[in-house]
C-alpha cells in the first residue's frame, strides 16, 4: 500500500494537449492554430512539429511552428481544398512532437468544412513515423477529460475489484455454513461481507469525486452508478436483517441465505445490466474498457499491485473482525457456563 500511494501520486503524467483553437476551418484556408499543452516543454525545444491527421493517408504537416512559453504553440497550416470525406466534414487529430516531450495528441481537434469526395496527394505527409519522436519513459498516459484524475484508477477501480474478491470469499463461506453448520464459516462470511460493504461505499465516494472532476457532477443517471448503489443497498440490508433476528440459529442460517442471494443479485446489477445500454463507464454501452488505449504498462505497474494490496488489506481486516467475534463468542459461552 505504501508503494501504491507513493508511485500512484508521484509518477508524472506524460505531456499532452489540453485544447486548441480554432476548432473549425474551411477547406482551402490558411489556419493559425493555437495549441495549449499540459506538462509540456515547448520552449526548450527547437524542433517542434505539428500535424493534422485526417486518416492514415491524409496527414498534413504544419508550415511553421512557433513557441512562446512551455505550454503554448502557434502552428500554421495551409488546409488543402480537397480532403476526402463522404459528408463534407473532415475531422482531424492534432499531433505535436519534439525531442523533449516526445509525441502528444488531441483527438477530434479540428473539423474542416466543405471537404470533397476526392483529394490531391501532393500536400500529405507520406511517412509520419520518421518525423516524430517516440519516447519511452516512466510516466502515466495523458488522457483527455481524465488528466490527473487518472490516478484514481488505483483507488476507485482497484477497491471495487478487491471488494469482488472479498465477496466471493463471503459467498463461499455462506455456502459452507449451510452445508456444515460450523460457526467458523458464519464468522468468516460476516467478516468478509462487512469489510466488502465498507469497500463498496468507499468505491461509491471515490467514484462520485471522480465524476465531479470529469463529468461535472457528483452523480449522474449513468446506469452503472445506479446499479452499484442498488447493489450496496441490498448488501446494507444484510446488516439490518442480521441484527433484527434474535434466535441465533435462525440468524446465522437466514444471514447465509441472504448473503448468497445478494451475491447472485450483484452479478447482473454490476456486470450484465450496464452492458445492455449506454454508460459512461468503460466496458459498457460500447464505451471501450480499460485496454491498451487506456491502461498502459505504466499504469499496470501500480494498478495490479493496488488490487492485490487492497484485497489483502481487506482479508487482514476481516480476519481481525473474525477473531474478535470468536473471542466474544467464547467469552459469552464461558459466562453462561459459569
Strands (E), the chain: 16-21, 24-26, 30-38, 49-53, 59-61, 64-69, 72-78, 89-98, 102-113
Give the integer Cα–Cα distance in Å for 238 and 259. Answer: 7
Find, among 83, 87, 113, 129, the residue nearest to 22 by Cα. Answer: 113
Burial of 260 (0-12, 13-18, 19+ CB in 10 A): middle
> Which residue in 101, 94, 112 sits closest to 34, CA to CA?
94
Q: In what order do the strands lie in the sheet with 89-98?
A: 24-26, 102-113, 89-98, 49-53, 59-61
Alpha carbon distance 280, 277 (integer Å): 10
The list of the chain residues with pLDDT below 50 reads 286-289, 292
Query: In terms of Cα–Cα distance, which of 211, 277, 203 is closest to 235?
Result: 203
Q: Where are the domains of the chain?
A: 11-131, 147-337
Strands 24-26 and 102-113, how do they pair? parallel
Q: Using an 8 Å Cβ cutoff, are 37 and 96 in contact?
A: yes
Contact 130, 90 (CB under 8 A): no
| pLDDT score for 174 | 96
User: In terms of C-beta density within 10 A (0-12 exposed, 13-18 middle, 19 or more buried), how is residue 55 classed?
Assistant: middle
Instruction: Determine the pLDDT at residue 290.
Output: 54
Residue 286 is predicted with a pLDDT of 47
Fold of 11-131: Immunoglobulin-like (2.60.40)
- 3-state DSSP assignment of residue 53: strand
Sheet with 30-38, strands from edge to edge, namely 16-21, 30-38, 72-78, 64-69
What does the alpha-carbon distance between residue 224 and residue 268 come to, in Å, rounded to a whole number?
11
Phi-psi domain of 145 (left: phi exceeds 0; alpha: psi -120 through 50; beta: other)? left
Kindly provide the b/e burial profile for residues 102-119, where b requires at least 16 CB atoms within 10 angstroms of the residue's own CB.
bbbbbeebbebebbeeeb
Amino acid at each position: 500500500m505504501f508503494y501504491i500511494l507513493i508511485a500512484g501520486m508521484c509518477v508524472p503524467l506524460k505531456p499532452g494537449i489540453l485544447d486548441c483553437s480554432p476548432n473549425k476551418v474551411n477547406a482551402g484556408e490558411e489556419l493559425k492554430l493555437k495549441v495549449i499543452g499540459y506538462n509540456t516543454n515547448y520552449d526548450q525545444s527547437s524542433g517542434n512539429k505539428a500535424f493534422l491527421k485526417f486518416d492514415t493517408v491524409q496527414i498534413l504537416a504544419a508550415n511553421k511552428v512557433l513557441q512562446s512559453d512551455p505550454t503554448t504553440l502557434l502552428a500554421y497550416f495551409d488546409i488543402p481544398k480537397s480532403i476526402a470525406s463522404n459528408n463534407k466534414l473532415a475531422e482531424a487529430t492534432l499531433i505535436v512532437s519534439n525531442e523533449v516531450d516526445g509525441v502528444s495528441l488531441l483527438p477530434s481537434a479540428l473539423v474542416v468544412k466543405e471537404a470533397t469526395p476526392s483529394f490531391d496527394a501532393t500536400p500529405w505527409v507520406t511517412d509520419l513515423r520518421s518525423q516524430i519522436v517516440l519516447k519511452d519513459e516512466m510516466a502515466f498516459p495523458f488522457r483527455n477529460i481524465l488528466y490527473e484524475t487518472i490516478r484514481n484508477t488505483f483507488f476507485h477501480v482497484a477497491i471495487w475489484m478487491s471488494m469482488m474478491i472479498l465477496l466471493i470469499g463471503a459467498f463461499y463461506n455462506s455456502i459452507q455454513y449451510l452445508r456444515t453448520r460450523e460457526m467458523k464459516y458464519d464468522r468468516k462470511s460476516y467478516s468478509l461481507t462487512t469489510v466488502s460493504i465498507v469497500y463498496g461505499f468507499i468505491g461509491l465516494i471515490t467514484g462520485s469525486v471522480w465524476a465531479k472532476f470529469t463529468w461535472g457532477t457528483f452523480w449522474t443517471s449513468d446506469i452503472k452508478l445506479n446499479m452499484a448503489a442498488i447493489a450496496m443497498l441490498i448488501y446494507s440490508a444484510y446488516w439490518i436483517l442480521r441484527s433484527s433476528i434474535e434466535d441465533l440459529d435462525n440468524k446465522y442460517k437466514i444471514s447465509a441465505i441472504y448473503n448468497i442471494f445478494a451475491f447472485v443479485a450483484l452479478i447482473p446489477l454490476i456486470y450484465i445490466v450496464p452492458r445492455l445500454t449506454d454508460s459512461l463507464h468503460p466496458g459498457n454501452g460500447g464505451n471501450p474498457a480499460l485496454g491498451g488505449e487506456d491502461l498502459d504498462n505504466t499504469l499496470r505497474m501500480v494498478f495490479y499491485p493496488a488490487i492485490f494490496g487492497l484485497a489483502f488489506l481487506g482479508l487482514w481486516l476481516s480476519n481481525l473482525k473474525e477473531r474478535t467475534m470468536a473471542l466474544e463468542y467464547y467469552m459469552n459461552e464461558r459466562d453462561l457456563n459459569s
